[in-house]
Structure 1
């Protein structure tokens, strides 16, 4: 509920702090006293368009602050979460909304001292306060709310939930089908390229880690060729095949033969001295060792040459394979090691294309089935709504008679939505219609009744649906226009009835409505030092008596008017 309204520098109001309780609160006062300023101030803090004309003369800015007590389960808190606002929860959470406008035309809004946008302010205000006036009705005047109102009046929540679930399943399956078709369409456009790519990759048949293995084999074969070439060259130098070439072994043998002539022999026992013989012998032994080492080296070279594997054809095959893999990896812009995965992916895409066509048919059948289920639940919901609509019509028309609208007819009109407009609420479009006079076809609320008739019709609707409302407060502006006596009493009685579940404010000139209130504020003006000020005063029992007597008799209050006021107030107590 609205607990406090603080106004600063708005038109004729310099400073005003009003405190409210639950129930029906009326605002009374003479015409032009400033009641509209209070409504304008409330509208401003609820997101109405800001105008510098609202700023009191001589002030730099105007501000309005409204305090609400809202239960933590109120749907408004989900809106705060979506906006990233941190609102502390308690048994009764306090919301403080403040709106400021400055003389340069700028406007700012805050909720619990956190800045918010004006559009969001309007959004949350709709779930807090609804203002009903003769010419500016909202809420019930918005056709988009009519279906929700009808459902909340008595439509089975089980049917509503079944319909929502059926719609959700149908829409999800439809979206899945559309996504699959889109994927298949994209794959089908590349089918020829995919098949040629798969054929090319299969012909090459790349293996995992094949590049490393081929490169290693290629490196080993190339090394063996270089090794064989080096060993063969060394062997040819040691033991050349060409007899005309330098023969190291033969050279060593020839040197030994020459030196052996220097050694003593039987024919020449005294051919050399002992020392010379010893030197020659050492040389011969060295030559012998060299000859043996050379022979050993030749043997080793031959053995190594015979063990080396050389396969030019295999090397060519490996290089051709390696170059082919590298070429195709560049073509598909992947590494050689990723080629097997690429082939697997291409094959899966082709397989999915074949399977997808079958899956499309299966999904199409499922979508068709789910749509039929949604249509069935929507039809059941439609029938339930029609039954509840008759109850709502009867309940509203029952309230119209005491409000001097006994000849009016209230109609809940149903229209089937086109398929593309079906939604989680079903296939129904609901609109409240009114025929204010006999013989006149029902028409939309804002076109079929005068301002006073419309206000009373909306009051009747509010009486019927008030228990389902999540609003914190309802505001009625001069709902008594054009009526009096018994009709005004009936209006006051119904306002009081609504106020048992929703806090109600009413701006009224009717003493009957004023007497029905739980609290009454008198709005008046005063002049101080040439400046006009508007103020509000909460009235006690005696003050209410005088104010209601004034409303009955005018400026000349008589004892009869006071007695009538007492009668009205005493009737309210009973």
Structure 2
């Protein structure tokens, strides 16, 4: 419920503060005075598009703030919690929603001191305010809005039963999709592992084999150079190939023998021993070189060596970087392949769970359909009773509920047995069909009615909704005490929302105007109502009245003020609305009208 609306520098309004009544508040004033600024302010805190042109010409920014009591509004409390708003501050001081519109740049929305995106602002405000204005009420032309309006008259437990069944169905569907996807992925993974293991097994590498082959390839490629070098080294060691020359080994042996022949212990004996060691090392080197010279590995086919190296490189590129890594990967892959299981039993169990959830969801969807049909009939009856009293004689509204069974492409999840589509809202399409006069073809609501007709039609719908809820409570009161306690816990106290009506009195006068005001007052017994009106017969029914006045001066130009009126001031405003001026006659008529407007 809106407790206070404050506005600064919005259009011609310098500053205004409105504190609506709990019941009905009337906003009056002459045409062109600036009553639309109040609606613009409500639109701003509702998340509507802003424009720098809204800012008063001599000001840097415009600002609007609404203070709401949401102590009984569980819906908006849930939205606030989801948006991360501090609920402690809301509980202590109420909900503060403000919007700043600069003369240059983007607007800024704030909820209880926290900046929020415009989408969050719109989501929160939609749980608090319903504006039936020339453009705002066109939202009811949307099928989703019509369905939501109809569902407001349905017992919450029926809606929650289907909502839970839909959540269960969606969860079962998601689980089935995940395991089917996982099964597909597991099969592909198993195929990959099997093929990879077979390839490594076929190549059959051993650790370090690639390095050994590269060394062999180097020797094969340099075989001639190696042979010449080995021969030269052996010749130098043995003296072969040199005329009248001894090899290095013979010369070393000769030197050792010469030193030993001295028979002097030190240091010649030690040096002789070292020369003998050198001779032994030279002998070993000579043997190794001889064996290399005689080795047949240099006769291997270079092409086959290169082919083997290429095979090993392919393995290390995919599962390396070394052959040791390749062999380790193969071992792990064998264990993983053993663990992979297509789990057909699990898939079958989830399929059965999904099909069972479909049946439950369809059952509750059918119950919801039947409840919608019943409430649609009640609403249609009450709306048509109200329309005659709202200067719309002969007009009628039919609320039609169509069970979907021929358009499965529209469903998110299909019932496989009969192709009946389900979605998060059930199996129904809801349509409000308006006939402006008897015999006229039915037309989609909002497409052909005038602004005033649509406003009165929305008033009739809101009044009808109140009557349907009252009838529902009467039915609940006939139940047993235990069941009544349960229903009260489920229903709870209905939160008091704020309804704003603009142009609802367009084309209405005389007795119909009195009936219009009375019906707004009736709605205000259940909800908070703010009406912008030029009819005294409507304004007189209000619990509180504000007058919007336009003042023009040479110094400050045109400015608009909003003033709360009561007692004599209110009588004078009603008299002005009745007669265009204030006279004893119009004042007397105003007092009579105010006295008569009681429920």
Relative to 1, partners in 2 of residues 1:199 and 1:72: Cα closer, same or farther, differing over 3 Å?
farther
2:339 match: secondary structure? helix
Q: Distance in 2 between matches of 1:100 and 1:461?
A: 34
Equivalent residue number for residue 258 of structure 2: none
Contact 2:55 2:103 (C-alpha < 8 Å) held by counterparts = yes
Relative to 1, partners in 2 of residues 1:135 and 1:437: Cα closer, same or farther, differing over 3 Å?
farther
1:193 positional shift: 4.3
Q: Distance in 1 between matches of 2:171 and 2:439?
A: 48
Relative to 1, partners in 2 of residues 1:452 and 1:179: Cα closer, same or farther, differing over 3 Å?
same
Within the candidate set 473, 482, 488, 2:513 is matched to: 488
**Greater alpha carbon shift after TM alignment, 373-382 vs 192-201:** 192-201
1:360 positional shift: 3.1
Equivalent residue number for residue 444 of structure 1: 444
1:478 positional shift: 2.5
2:69 match: secondary structure? strand
Equivalent residue number for residue 434 of structure 2: 434
Equivalent residue number for residue 81 of structure 1: 81
1:565 positional shift: 1.3
Q: Which has the larger radius of gyration?
A: 1
Per-residue CA distance 1:456-488 (angstroms, 9 max, x = gap): 110011112256975631111121110112211
Relative to 1, partners in 2 of residues 1:195 and 1:57: Cα closer, same or farther, differing over 3 Å?
closer
Per-residue CA distance 1:10-32 (angstroms, 9 max, x = gap): 22222222333311110111111
1:367 to 2:393 alignment: no
Contact 2:9 2:15 (C-alpha < 8 Å) held by counterparts = yes
Contact 1:72 1:93 (C-alpha < 8 Å) held by counterparts = no
Within the candidate set 538, 550, 553, 2:576 is matched to: 550
Q: Distance in 1 between matches of 2:377 and 2:114?
A: 46
Equivalent residue number for residue 64 of structure 2: 64
Relative to 1, partners in 2 of residues 1:451 and 1:367: Cα closer, same or farther, differing over 3 Å?
same
Q: Distance in 2 between matches of 1:444 and 1:342?
A: 65
Tell me how many residue pairs correspond in the alignment: 449
1:47 positional shift: 2.4
Alignment of 1:348-497 (within 5 A): 348-349=339-340, 352-353=341-342, 355-356=343-344, 358-417=345-404, 418-419=407-408, 420-421=411-412, 422-466=422-466, 470=495, 472-497=497-522
Q: Distance in 2 between matches of 1:119 and 1:160?
A: 25
Q: Distance in 1 between matches of 2:63 and 2:324?
A: 66
Scaled by the length of structure 1, the TM-score of the pair is 0.71
Q: Distance in 2 between matches of 1:373 and 1:19?
A: 49
Within the candidate set 535, 541, 550, 1:525 is matched to: 550
Equivalent residue number for residue 347 of structure 1: 338
Contact 1:130 1:471 (C-alpha < 8 Å) held by counterparts = no
Q: Distance in 2 between matches of 1:182 and 1:90?
A: 46
Gaps of 5+ in 1: 204-210, 212-325
Equivalent residue number for residue 6 of structure 2: 6
Per-residue CA distance 1:216-243 (angstroms, 9 max, x = gap): xxxxxxxxxxxxxxxxxxxxxxxxxxxx
1:89 positional shift: 5.0
1:336 positional shift: 8.0
Contact 1:129 1:471 (C-alpha < 8 Å) held by counterparts = no
1:370 positional shift: 2.9
Equivalent residue number for residue 515 of structure 1: 540
1:541 to 2:567 alignment: yes
1:171 positional shift: 2.2
Contact 1:413 1:432 (C-alpha < 8 Å) held by counterparts = yes
Contact 1:130 1:139 (C-alpha < 8 Å) held by counterparts = no
Gaps of 5+ in 2: 208-314, 413-421, 470-492
1:532 positional shift: 2.0
Per-residue CA distance 1:229-280 (angstroms, 9 max, x = gap): xxxxxxxxxxxxxxxxxxxxxxxxxxxxxxxxxxxxxxxxxxxxxxxxxxxx
1:33 match: secondary structure? coil
1:522 match: secondary structure? strand
